[in-house]
Amino acid sequence: NAGVTQTPKFRVLKTGQSMTLLCAQDMNHEYMYWYRQDPGMGLRLIHYSVGEGTTAKGEVPDGYNVSRLKKQNFLLGLESAAPSQTSVYFCASSYSRRDQSTDTQYFGPGTRLTVL
């Protein structure tokens, strides 16, 4: 099992450009999450999904869109990148219908995004 994977690992964008970050999990998890992590601010939830075809806003959703067309994939889009979106982005997944004992989240390796 690969767990949670993210592509790309690094990316540099110019202001106004767009891009999509891909997250994939092979643990048959129902829930998936996108976070951003900035120095001194911890992990902040951008958007999340409680199942295929559903998405919801988190704490800092502005400037981002998401889609969950397949259970194993969760995409994060930046339509018009801004320097304030320079951050490390983590994807996570949780909850299997087989194991409902915890809601432990498992994280991908992260994407380091710089917007110039």
Partner 1 sequence: GQNIDQPTEMTATEGAIVQINCTYQTSGFNGLFWYQQHAGEAPTFLSYNVLDGLEEKGRFSSFLSRSKGYSYLLLKELQMKDSASYLCALSLTDSWGKLQFGAGTQVVVTP
Per CB under 8 A, residues contacting partner 1 are 4, 31, 33, 40-45, 48, 50, 58, 90, 94-95, 102-110
C-beta of 77: minimal distance to partner 1 in Å? 21
Residue 11 vs 44, nearer CB to partner 1: 44
- Which of 17/107 has CB closer to partner 1? 107
Q: Which is nearer to partner 1, 69 or 100 (CB)?
A: 100
The minimum distance between CB 33 and partner 1, in angstroms, equals: 8
3-state SS record for the chain: CCCEEEECCEEEECCCCCEEEEEEECCCCCEEEEEEEECCCEEEEEEEEEECCEEEECCCCCCCEEECCCCCEEEEEECCCCHHHCEEEEEEEECCCCCCCCCCCEECCCEEEEEC
Q: How far is the CB of 18 from partner 1 (least distance, A)?
A: 25
